[in-house]
Structure 1
Amino acid sequence: MADPTTAPDRADCVTDIDGLAALITSCRTCPRLVAWREKVAREKRAAFRDQEYWGRPVPGFGPSDASILIVGLAPAAHGANRTGRMFTGDRSGDVLFAAMHAVGLASQPHAVSAGDGLRLIDARVTSPVHCAPPDNKPTPAERHACAPFLTRELELLASTLEVAVVLGGFGWQALFGVLSQAGWQVPRPRPRFGHGAVVELVHPDGRTLTVLGCFHVSQQNTFTGRLTPAMLEDVLTHARRLAGLTSESS
């Protein structure tokens, strides 16, 4: 059996999205993250004490031929670390999926569990770190260890991906680091994160990718009004236009 602590090293051998998800789910590379995610899953939050927590790394989800990739930060301890699906089961996800549904990128506005019927349309959701970190702060070493998964995900989406919407400065830094290593012509100095930021990239093989910045859908931003539903919908609508999705799907 393959060593689960070396899972990121095998990412470039995976040939499809399902295989990548399986590899991510098996990973035990970062001792601090493994200990934390499993501790949270054992102890649980009182409101979820009757539920079985996922307690493992959380892979991205959405169609394997997505034209829009939404990049977050990491799973929430009692959200995706509980439900096993990105942005599912917490208030950040409530905001994100409501906006995605409003612009035609999700089949429903709510996400409460991995089996709730939510289907993403022309879009995929992922993150640079796949385990819930203490205080929502992965270390630089943990970010580096997880990077091969995002690198491979981008490679597997290469034939259809047109736009990346990055939620927050951490995801922005992580994504540009991965893109630079993958050969994309990233400007120097690297573009600064900002809500509404737009960066056009070109790969030596002729592919193009537009990266859009958006404030993260954290409660710190949504409760204070720094990020409103309208602001998020505007960014997602811009992403749809750039990806050539001129009419909303259902």
Structure 2
Amino acid sequence: MVARAARATDLADLDAGISDCFACPRLVEWREEVARTRRASFRDQEYWGRPVPGFGASDARIAILGLAPAAHGGNRTGRIFTGDRSGDVLFAALHRAGLANQPTSVAADDGLALRDIRIFSAVRCAPPDNKPTPQERDTCAPWLHREVSLIRPTLRVVVALGAFAWAAWWPVLRQVYGLRPPSPRPAFGHGAHWSGTAAPDLLGSYHVSQQNTFTGRLTPKMLDDVFDQAKQLAEVD
């Protein structure tokens, strides 16, 4: 898997490699079990049931780094943050920011297009209880590192959705940019901002999970503020 990620020549090649990964037995078993049993409301749909590649512009100036695909979202539709409540919140915000052509993301063929944005996750398979292990994160990391390498020429800002994604970014500095991560690591928080001289700026946002959005911990205004800051830092109109 490490070798396959390293030799990916472009994003399409990388996406093909990600979609055919079987490196983590627990995640493989879970994603395939979910695809077989299905949720009752989606029983008539064929699930993707594989690792979920990134999505968005190949010349992105802003990247959104999430945790992992949702069992009945990306694991069903084959596109990250697509077909679940978290995606409803995220893409509505991107549309308000002028970074998406529509406010919804319901299926891989729904016509959604992103401008100056690419979205990917630290772990590419849906994990049980939405909780990948640190070992699974580290095993999956070569896909993330290669994806960042491929968009490095244009990438200016990374928005980490949640503490897990925030922590997953620091090894990228060493592997992709040849930089020593800061010590101690900057603390995650909504609106947290780390700026490096030779790497993209890092912004923190609470995850767009129902647990955060339904309770008001993350509001549309809070999310809008993060994307407004990201656009300013990336010099995106």
Tell me if both proteins adopt one fold, taking TM over 0.5 as the criterion: yes
The answer on 1:209 being equivalent to 2:200 is yes
The answer on 1:16 being equivalent to 2:10 is yes
Aligned twin of 2:182: 187
In the alignment, which of 23, 30, 39 is matched to residue 36 of structure 1?
Answer: 30
Aligned twin of 1:4: none
CA distance in 2 between counterparts of 1:230 and 1:180 reads 34
In the alignment, which of 126, 130, 133 is matched to residue 124 of structure 2?
Answer: 130
Aligned twin of 2:232: 241
The answer on 1:100 being equivalent to 2:94 is yes
1:167-223 Cα offsets, whole Å, 9 max, x none, are: 0000000111222333234321111101001101133xxxx3110000000001000
CA distance in 2 between counterparts of 1:82 and 1:107 reads 22
SS in 2 for 1:202: coil
Aligned twin of 2:212: 221
The answer on 1:160 being equivalent to 2:168 is no
Aligned twin of 1:54: 48
Checking the alignment, whether the CA contact within 8 Å between 1:186 and 1:201 is kept in structure 2 is: no
The answer on 1:198 being equivalent to 2:185 is no
| Residue identity opposite 1:165 in structure 2 | V
Structure 2 residues not aligned, in runs of 5+: none
Could you tell me the TM-score, scaled by structure 2's length? 0.97
Give 1:13 deviation, angstroms. Answer: 0.9
| Residue identity opposite 1:231 in structure 2 | M
1:18-52 Cα offsets, whole Å, 9 max, x none, are: 11000000001111100100000000000000000
| Residue identity opposite 1:54 in structure 2 | W
Give 1:12 deviation, angstroms. Answer: 1.0
CA distance in 1 between counterparts of 2:2 and 2:99 reads 29
CA distance in 2 between counterparts of 1:92 and 1:224 reads 13
CA distance in 1 between counterparts of 2:61 and 2:117 reads 6
Aligned twin of 2:106: 112
Checking the alignment, whether the CA contact within 8 Å between 1:129 and 1:146 is kept in structure 2 is: yes
CA distance in 2 between counterparts of 1:138 and 1:108 reads 30
Aligned twin of 1:27: 21
Aligned twin of 1:175: 169
SS in 1 for 2:149: helix
Aligned twin of 1:3: none
1:72-128 Cα offsets, whole Å, 9 max, x none, are: 000000000000000000000000000000001101000100000000110000001
Checking the alignment, whether the CA contact within 8 Å between 1:72 and 1:167 is kept in structure 2 is: yes
Aligned residues: percent identity?
62
| Residue identity opposite 1:31 in structure 2 | P
1:132-159 Cα offsets, whole Å, 9 max, x none, are: 0001111121111100000001110111
| Residue identity opposite 1:63 in structure 2 | A
SS in 1 for 2:29: helix
CA distance in 2 between counterparts of 1:201 and 1:17 reads 25
CA distance in 2 between counterparts of 1:26 and 1:105 reads 29
CA distance in 2 between counterparts of 1:165 and 1:148 reads 19
| Residue identity opposite 1:210 in structure 2 | D
Checking the alignment, whether the CA contact within 8 Å between 1:184 and 1:201 is kept in structure 2 is: no
